[in-house]
Amino acid sequence: MVMNTKDIFERLRNGEIILPNDPDAYKMMEASFATKKLLVQMNNTTEPEEIRSFLSQITVSQIDRTVNVFTPLHINYGRHTKIGKNVFINFDCVFLDLGGITIEDDVFIAPKVSLLSEGHPTSSEERHSLIPKAIHIKKNAWIGAGATILPGVTIGENAVVAAGAVVSKDVAPNTIVGGVPAKFIKNI
């Protein structure tokens, strides 16, 4: 039997399916609880500089001073989230980032948006496995209120995702999508 010597978080970031009996699976829960401690502090401050400071600790990257976050923000891990410059994240968003989330410059994220970079198989026998797939939101995109972006989706540059949409496929640049599941509405 060949032992996997890669760290579980590296394996997640690389898109490897994590089985429920993985010997390192417990590390995901431990990391989530450590992130939650920082989130409680971040979500209870009103100072933009403090929010950015906590978010920098959570993501283990420098959050630019042009980024604004209206808390609460909920993140399950944080270290696989990358946020560009001049990004605005509105109230009550959820980021599940074990599979990776990249938010490029000038992105608007409206209230109650969910970015879900991880999922589970539909078969009942395999459902406790974790399937990570990165989400990429490109420059100047706008994600409308209550939208959900599912694992593996790329939102193209300048694209708009309408409020309440559930996006399960890539969105082309300079387009508007909406609905459940999200479909092309028009070009911008």
> Which residues are known catalytic residues?
120
User: Sign (positive/negative) of CA torsion 2, 7, 8, 9?
Assistant: negative
Can you read off the two tokens belonging to residue 32? 């989530």
Give the number of residues written for the chain: 188
Distance CA 13, CA 36 (A): 20
Q: What are phi and psi of 118, to 5 degrees?
A: -145, 150
Please provide the DSSP assignment of 127-173 as one string: TTSBEE--EEE-TT-EE-TT-EE-TT-EEPTT-EE-TT-EE-S-B-T
Tell me whether strands 148-149 and 166-167 are parallel, antiparallel or unpaired: parallel
